[in-house]
A and B are shown apart, each in its own frame.
Chain A
């Protein structure tokens, strides 16, 4: 209870304060007003903080908060008006310095005033939702100084002038500049933006518009880019030194627009120094600069890409259609690969490995490679060349690199099935003639094809390898069971599975009697071990080594010839002179092949083991043939090739083409049936799209062909047309 009493007493003492001298508020305010004057006049050392704080506290406590606040506003405003006058009076360069000095003074004064009025800031201001003292001081500075009519434009012009002087190479006081800009930012985002940034950007745009015009008239593309890059970096540096970091994007946008975007096309197409020239000369540095600058502006990169693409397509088109270059398929493909390498390294070194550029490169190659219908053949021939001889002495990794490059070209091909056809033919030749250099390389390529196109694509190619292997085993078996034949293996048979190899049915000839006996032995051995099979001889694909003695000197040679050539030569064991007709009759070799094989033995210099009458380059039906007694050669072994263009001749090409078309039919049909089976009903256009999509990995299906296949399927009751909508097809289970 005693505590209670004590408490009451004290609370009463507290309440006595409420009784106030009527002039109390005015008196107290006078003290505070005087203090504010002294603070602004740098004369604060005589002030007592405790007294001022207590007075301000008491005014708020006794409900004179509003008087205090209004008094503060009035006093501060009048001081700022004075300050404004002294800043206005400053001459020339001292204007900014004076402004900066007064701003520092004001800030310090504001801090001290806030200290005195802290209690008001904490209690009276939040409950009346008035502006806190510090913010109030900034607002008053903004309204009375920065926005005063005599200072506003002068300040803006001074700042912009300084920036301009710096741009033209003068050295300015960056510290002062930073302080003034910082002041604008302290006064609020909108002050900085409205009173400086907006104008700064406008003036900059104008400056760079003029400058870029000047540059583009007198610089080449590379130099212009260097200048633009330099300006861009200067502006970024300017922002870090004395502007708001948020301005960086805005000012760089201005430079980008004025210096790059507005002149983009002119730069790219600049004569003798534009993009195409840079590409031709592999100017990585210039290209990289162009890439980095253009990526900053809308449509910049797409402009570069489009020019690059159209240039690439143009040069590519020339490359693949130039008749001169088509003569050598290996050279042709090598050129393609070189072109690809060139652009790959441009994209890596200058274009930041940009995916969109890689895509553009790929689509360009796809475009022009397929302009030439022989590209699949040539690529296969290139591989053939490499695998026949080109890979000797090349390390395994390099082989891989070459094969990978070839695969890349292969990927661009639309008619992959055509490639497959040729590849099969070439592979068959390599395998049968034992010309392949590296089994590993062959298999590696097949694995690549398999990953690219799937099991189906390579199953037959792999079958060919299996056949080769089994044939070896078969031959072992054959000679083991016919010991009487001795060690000399006069006959080597490769048993080829029908369908896996590019065989021609029914092509055969009369073998010489010595041969046919041996062949019969093999046939009976083989059929004896494998029942239910049929063997037919592919005499058009074999080779033979025969020993021959020429002339009176008895010059001996070993001739490496084809089976057909062997058949012909064997005839001369029993005859001096044979007419074409006689040879044809005796061997039954198809006329075209026979002509070719005679031509290779009678008309090729250095290989002319036969003599022909009359002497001419072509083989006529009435020609007669003799052994050429005068045949000489430096070598003991003589390889007599068949006159066969490495490239296909026109009719052969047509034939291959036809076979490809023929093979496509069942594939198209299968695709149609697969699609219809899952969709049941589909309209014509959608079928075409889906079929094309499904077959894309192998070839580009021709819509008319698809239509024909659909009709054929309708005839065979796989599909029917809808009775109402004739464009709809239905699947018939």
Chain B
């Protein structure tokens, strides 16, 4: 029988593995195996005649290697019970295969195929403020004045804080950097906004706001980032300098400021959302932060509010419906809102001054409000709409946003925030300080 020319025999920690260099090449050039088989080092390869007799020694754990070799062969990750995950990750990191492991661990995000993967319990006291999914499967959770950071392995990194001021929002700039917005501390210049390293927890940059060429301390609220490397935040200064600040992600310098006009609200905003297609920023201030809701779209190029809606002055109906969260859906030129009964409402982005068209689902929900309600939140991902209410998250699909799935776990109480990113969904519960990780399983075998 002819032996394949590229056959390789490896001795890993005393156990012999036979494979081919083709299989190992799946690891990519920037891996241990990629370097090993590159022409630079091939001089040390035994010549091909005696190849089958010669073995290559690697001083590593053979159990983990067998899992990783299987991953390179099949693309599937199967971790036997006798191999601790942490060990496996450690070994994958040695070989430069951590990215392979991550992408094999869970599949492409689909709201209707999500499975609960694990729950992580934190030590922080009190209710969580916000949870934000990172681009590579990690997440960070804001609790009071501290932000806890987890990578995709759910290993906790050093927690972040900005002068131990109360955190209002968190955002990922990229997989290595996190921004925190926090309340200011009077007279000290503390608080505001800072950029932190995910892995070391160090504060890399503190963002400043200038008004009339003077640096002012400020309270930063909701955050958003854009694909052209800008950071947006709602800002409250002390001399009525309310509005939306804009910074450059690369230089950290403030590049713009959109001042709030009288009778409108920007500086208190609960939510910012950058819209790539229309080059606008959605800014929403919602009940109960203010007595009224203000939703607007800002165009920074000509400093204009291109779309706005408010329930100011609207008559209060019997079944009072107040907007609690909102999200812009660029593909369908609409803005979706949700009220405390989890009714969804829609507005047309193409015309100003319209009203909300509610789709009433509240009948089935009414009277079931829990003692300590969490207000509904909305998220949009890959054409699917997500809304959280109490202890479950609903998934809506299609042009008419039909309810297709419901994610629920009984532990931890109401969901106070959730976030989708890195092909994972993270749900933060208000009690017990716990968050759930939901992910789509890898695709079926055939």
Please state if B40 and A50 are interface contacts (CB–CB under 8 Å). Answer: no
For B38, the chain A residues whose CB sits under 8 A away are 111, 115
For B87, the chain A residues whose CB sits under 8 A away are 10-11, 14
Interface residue A726 (Cβ < 8 Å from any Cβ of B): no
- Could you tell me the distance in whole angstroms from the C-beta of B340 to the nearest C-beta in chain A? 44
Q: Mark B40-75, 1 if CB is under 8 A from A, else 0.
A: 110110000000000011110000000000000000
CA distance A10 to B82 in the complex (A): 10
Interface residue A49 (Cβ < 8 Å from any Cβ of B): yes
Please state if B96 and A11 are interface contacts (CB–CB under 8 Å). Answer: no
Q: Mark A364-375, 1 if CB is under 8 A from B, else 0.
A: 000000000000
Interface residue A53 (Cβ < 8 Å from any Cβ of B): yes
What are 10 inter-chain pairs, A to B, with CB distance below 8 A? A45-B44, A47-B44, A48-B44, A49-B36, A50-B56, A50-B58, A111-B38, A115-B40, A119-B94, A123-B93
Interface residue A101 (Cβ < 8 Å from any Cβ of B): no
- Could you tell me the distance in whole angstroms from the C-beta of A130 to the nearest C-beta in chain B? 13
- Could you tell me the distance in whole angstroms from the C-beta of B360 to the nearest C-beta in chain A? 51
Which residue of B has the minimal Cβ distance to A39?
B40
Interface residue B20 (Cβ < 8 Å from any Cβ of A): no
Please state if B96 and A111 are interface contacts (CB–CB under 8 Å). Answer: no
For A122, the chain B residues whose CB sits under 8 A away are 30, 96
CA distance A7 to B84 in the complex (A): 6
Interface residue B197 (Cβ < 8 Å from any Cβ of A): yes
Interface size class of A (residues with CB under 8 A): 20 to 34
CA distance A47 to B176 in the complex (A): 35
For A45, the chain B residues whose CB sits under 8 A away are 43-44
Give B9-42 interface residues, CB cut-off 8 Å to A: 30-32, 35-36, 38, 40-41
- Could you tell me the distance in whole angstroms from the C-beta of B13 to the nearest C-beta in chain A? 12
CA distance A436 to B26 in the complex (A): 90
| Nearest 3 pairs of A and B residues by beta carbon | A115-B35, A127-B199, A112-B40
For B93, the chain A residues whose CB sits under 8 A away are 119, 123
Give A110-151 interface residues, CB cut-off 8 Å to B: 111-112, 115-116, 118-119, 122-123, 126-128
Q: A50-B36, A115-B40, A127-B197 are in contact. Are A11 and B176 (CB under 8 A)?
A: no
CA distance A7 to B56 in the complex (A): 29
Which residue of A has the minimal Cβ distance to B58?
A50
CA distance A54 to B94 in the complex (A): 8
Interface residue A695 (Cβ < 8 Å from any Cβ of B): no
CA distance A54 to B57 in the complex (A): 12
Which residue of B has the minimal Cβ distance to A57?
B94
For A126, the chain B residues whose CB sits under 8 A away are 176, 199
Interface residue A456 (Cβ < 8 Å from any Cβ of B): no
Interface residue B352 (Cβ < 8 Å from any Cβ of A): no
Interface residue B81 (Cβ < 8 Å from any Cβ of A): yes
Please state if B30 and A118 are interface contacts (CB–CB under 8 Å). Answer: yes
Interface residue A6 (Cβ < 8 Å from any Cβ of B): yes
Which residue of B has the minimal Cβ distance to A50?
B58
Interface residue B333 (Cβ < 8 Å from any Cβ of A): no
Interface residue A44 (Cβ < 8 Å from any Cβ of B): yes
Q: How many A-B residue pairs have CB under 8 A?
A: 59
Please state if A54 and B96 are interface contacts (CB–CB under 8 Å). Answer: no
For B32, the chain A residues whose CB sits under 8 A away are 53, 118
Interface residue B117 (Cβ < 8 Å from any Cβ of A): no
- Could you tell me the distance in whole angstroms from the C-beta of A319 to the nearest C-beta in chain B? 56
Please state if B59 and A50 are interface contacts (CB–CB under 8 Å). Answer: yes
Please state if A118 and B96 are interface contacts (CB–CB under 8 Å). Answer: yes
CA distance A111 to B30 in the complex (A): 11
Interface residue B350 (Cβ < 8 Å from any Cβ of A): no
CA distance A128 to B200 in the complex (A): 8
Chain B residues with a Cβ closer than 8 Å to the other chain, count: 27
Interface residue A227 (Cβ < 8 Å from any Cβ of B): no
CA distance A460 to B32 in the complex (A): 95
Q: A47-B44, A123-B93, A126-B176 are in contact. Are A11 and B36 (CB under 8 A)?
A: no
Interface residue B86 (Cβ < 8 Å from any Cβ of A): yes
Please state if A11 and B86 are interface contacts (CB–CB under 8 Å). Answer: yes
CA distance A119 to B95 in the complex (A): 8
Please state if B59 and A10 are interface contacts (CB–CB under 8 Å). Answer: no
Please state if B59 and A54 are interface contacts (CB–CB under 8 Å). Answer: yes
For B40, the chain A residues whose CB sits under 8 A away are 44, 108, 111-112, 115
- Could you tell me the distance in whole angstroms from the C-beta of A89 to the nearest C-beta in chain B? 28
Query: Could you list 14 further interchain pairs (A-B, Cβ under 8 angstroms) beyond the known A44-B43, A127-B197?
Result: A3-B82, A10-B84, A11-B87, A44-B41, A45-B44, A50-B59, A54-B59, A111-B40, A115-B40, A116-B35, A118-B30, A126-B176, A127-B176, A127-B199
Chain B residues close to A by CB (< 8 Å): 30-32, 35-36, 38, 40-41, 43-44, 56-59, 81-82, 84, 86-87, 90, 93-94, 96, 176, 197, 199-200
For B58, the chain A residues whose CB sits under 8 A away are 50
For A111, the chain B residues whose CB sits under 8 A away are 38, 40
Interface core residue of A6, A7, A112, A123 (most chain B CB under 10 Å): A7
Out of B35, B81, B90, name the residue touching A53 (CB < 8 Å). Answer: B35
CA distance A57 to B92 in the complex (A): 12
For A112, the chain B residues whose CB sits under 8 A away are 40-41
Q: A112-B40, A118-B32, A127-B200 are in contact. Are A11 and B94 (CB under 8 A)?
A: no
Out of B30, B35, B82, B197, name the residue touching A49 (CB < 8 Å). Answer: B35
CA distance A116 to B32 in the complex (A): 9
Which residue of B has the minimal Cβ distance to A54?
B59
CA distance A109 to B383 in the complex (A): 49
CA distance A49 to B35 in the complex (A): 9
- Could you tell me the distance in whole angstroms from the C-beta of A702 to the nearest C-beta in chain B? 48
Please state if B96 and A119 are interface contacts (CB–CB under 8 Å). Answer: yes
Which residue of B has the minimal Cβ distance to A46?
B44
CA distance A49 to B94 in the complex (A): 14
Please state if B176 and A49 are interface contacts (CB–CB under 8 Å). Answer: no
- Could you tell me the distance in whole angstroms from the C-beta of B208 to the nearest C-beta in chain A? 21
Please state if A49 and B86 are interface contacts (CB–CB under 8 Å). Answer: no
- Could you tell me the distance in whole angstroms from the C-beta of A59 to the nearest C-beta in chain B? 13
Which residue of B has the minimal Cβ distance to A6?
B82
CA distance A108 to B43 in the complex (A): 14
For B81, the chain A residues whose CB sits under 8 A away are 3
Which residue of A has the minimal Cβ distance to B57?
A50
CA distance A14 to B57 in the complex (A): 20
CA distance A118 to B36 in the complex (A): 11
Please state if A49 and B44 are interface contacts (CB–CB under 8 Å). Answer: yes
For A14, the chain B residues whose CB sits under 8 A away are 87, 90
For B41, the chain A residues whose CB sits under 8 A away are 44, 49, 112, 115
Q: Mark A326-365, 1 if CB is under 8 A from B, else 0.
A: 0000000000000000000000000000000000000000
For A119, the chain B residues whose CB sits under 8 A away are 93-94, 96
- Could you tell me the distance in whole angstroms from the C-beta of A442 to the nearest C-beta in chain B? 58
CA distance A128 to B43 in the complex (A): 34
- Could you tell me the distance in whole angstroms from the C-beta of B390 to the nearest C-beta in chain A? 34
- Could you tell me the distance in whole angstroms from the C-beta of B98 to the nearest C-beta in chain A? 8
CA distance A10 to B85 in the complex (A): 11
Please state if B84 and A11 are interface contacts (CB–CB under 8 Å). Answer: yes
- Could you tell me the distance in whole angstroms from the C-beta of B72 to the nearest C-beta in chain A? 17
Which residue of A has the minimal Cβ distance to B10?
A50
CA distance A582 to B86 in the complex (A): 138
Which residue of B has the minimal Cβ distance to A126?
B176
CA distance A53 to B36 in the complex (A): 10
Which residue of A has the minimal Cβ distance to B81?
A3
Give A41-88 interface residues, CB cut-off 8 Å to B: 44-45, 47-50, 53-54, 57
Which residue of A has the minimal Cβ distance to B197?
A127
- Could you tell me the distance in whole angstroms from the C-beta of B223 to the nearest C-beta in chain A? 23
CA distance A14 to B89 in the complex (A): 13
- Could you tell me the distance in whole angstroms from the C-beta of A125 to the nearest C-beta in chain B? 11
Interface core residue of A10, A45, A126 (most chain B CB under 10 Å): A10
CA distance A47 to B31 in the complex (A): 18
Interface core residue of B94, B176, B200 (most chain A CB under 10 Å): B94
CA distance A3 to B80 in the complex (A): 11
Which residue of A has the minimal Cβ distance to B85?
A7
CA distance A45 to B43 in the complex (A): 6
CA distance A692 to B36 in the complex (A): 86
- Could you tell me the distance in whole angstroms from the C-beta of B16 to the nearest C-beta in chain A? 15
Q: Mark A1-36, 1 if CB is under 8 A from B, else 0.
A: 001001100110010000000000000000000000
